[in-house]
Amino acid sequence: MVAQKMKLIPRREAMCLLTSAMASSLFPLESLAGPDKVASRIADITNGKQFSDIDIYLDMPEIAENGNQVKIVFEIESPMSEVEHVKTVYVLADGNPEPDVAKFNFTPAMGACGATTRMRLSKTQNVIVLAEMANGLFAKADTKVKVTIGGCGG
Amino acid sequence: MAKVKARVKVQKKASVGEVIEIKTLISHPMHSGRAVDANGKTIPRNIIKSFTVKFNGEPVFNMDLKPSVASNPFVVFPFRVKEAGTFDFIWVEDGGKEYTASKNMRIA
């Protein structure tokens, strides 16, 4: 009985091992998107087009305690007419396994441009919102979110 | 797998020209394909990959979702009221399975 007990790993240690093993298997460092991948993704999307100085209102928490559910709110001033409206909004993150988070396609029927959703953040990272206007111009906003407990693990 | 349930909140009455807010939520685990279960097996990827909203058959809003979107995707978006009608909400899961919801709106 005693011999058996000796073989057991203390619970606390086991938990530590388990957590670190999970963390490393979930997010091997080389698989994260990283700023370079995001920069090349942005270059892909914009395809060399110009950036305009349109303001994007981006609201995210400065510190997210839980990376599994992080609220993101964005709004862009736009008349949303046939000629002048926001066509597409990309949400990108540079510390997640892949840079793309979501892509929103807006239409003039919406009357305003903005959306709210919740996203996963695997670690402290930058979140970038990239908007494409109907006239081909782009606008960009980014914010840094500090994450205490990473998400993406599900 | 837990039952997938879509919920949508749209005000029943609105006036013409008003910009209303539509809230949607679908209970879905959004398995990213990276998480492991209690037995150490990888849970296969299964996410809601797209979300489309139509009003009286006309596409209004569309969204492409990636594994980085949190579980139980919650989306809020605006809509300018022009006439009474029906909203159709369509969520598409990996593998093509569709979940739908619809809501009516009257003019106040």
Domain holding A42: CATH number? 2.60.40.2470
Q: For chain B, what percent of residues have pLDDT higher than 90?
A: 83
Answer yes or no: is pLDDT of B19 > 50.
yes
Structural domain contains residue A17: no
- A154 and B74 within 8 Å at the Cβ level: the answer is no
CA distance B50 to chain A (A): 9
Structural domain contains residue A18: no
Q: For chain A, what is the domain count? A: 1
Q: pLDDT category, B108, cuts 50, 70, 90?
A: confident
- B75 and A115 within 8 Å at the Cβ level: the answer is yes
CB B78 within 8 A of CB B56: no
Answer yes or no: is pLDDT of A30 > 50.
no
Answer yes or no: is pLDDT of A32 > 70.
yes
- Region B89-104: mean pLDDT is 94
DSSP B43: P
* Strand spans (E) along chain A: 56-59, 63-66, 70-76, 86-93, 100-105, 113-119, 125-133, 138-149
Give the range of the structural domain holding residue A61, as residue numbers without chain letter: 30-149
Structural domain contains residue A11: no
For every residue of A11-39, DSSP letters joined together read HHHHHHHHHHHHHHHH--GGGS-HHHHHH
Structural domain contains residue A9: no
Structural domain contains residue A8: no
Residues of A with CB under 8 A from a CB of B: 22, 25-27, 68-70, 80, 93, 96-98, 100-107, 109-120, 151-154
Q: pLDDT category, A28, cuts 50, 70, 90?
A: very low
Structural domain contains residue A76: yes
- Region A9-24: mean pLDDT is 55
- A47 vs A53: CA distance, rounded Å: 18
Which residue from B34, B62, B65 is facing A153, i.e. has the nearest CB? B34
Q: For residue A22, what pLDDT is reported?
A: 53
- A7 vs A2: CA distance, rounded Å: 9
- Region B97-103: mean pLDDT is 94
Q: For residue A1, what pLDDT is reported?
A: 45
DSSP A109: G
Element (H, E) at B52: strand B48-55
Query: Which residue ranges form the domains of chain B, and what is each CATH number?
Result: 5-107 (2.60.40.10)
Give the three-class secondary structure for A82. coil
More confident site: A108 or A50? A108
Structural domain contains residue A4: no
CA distance B33 to chain A (A): 9
- Region A104-119: mean pLDDT is 94
- Region B39-48: mean pLDDT is 91
Answer yes or no: is pLDDT of A41 > 60.
yes
- Region A125-142: mean pLDDT is 92
CB B66 within 8 A of CB A101: yes
Write out pLDDT tens, residues B47-76: 999 999 999 999 999 999 999 999 999 999
For residue A114, list chain B residues with Cβ-Cβ distance below 8 A: 77-78
Q: For chain A, what percent of residues have pLDDT higher than 70?
A: 77
Report how far apart, in Å, the C-alpha atoms of A43 and of each of A32, A40, A53, A56, A138 are. 18, 5, 18, 19, 11
- B64 vs A94: CA distance, rounded Å: 18
Structural domain contains residue A1: no
- Region B37-51: mean pLDDT is 91
Mean pLDDT of chain B: 92
Q: For residue B78, what pLDDT is reported?
A: 95
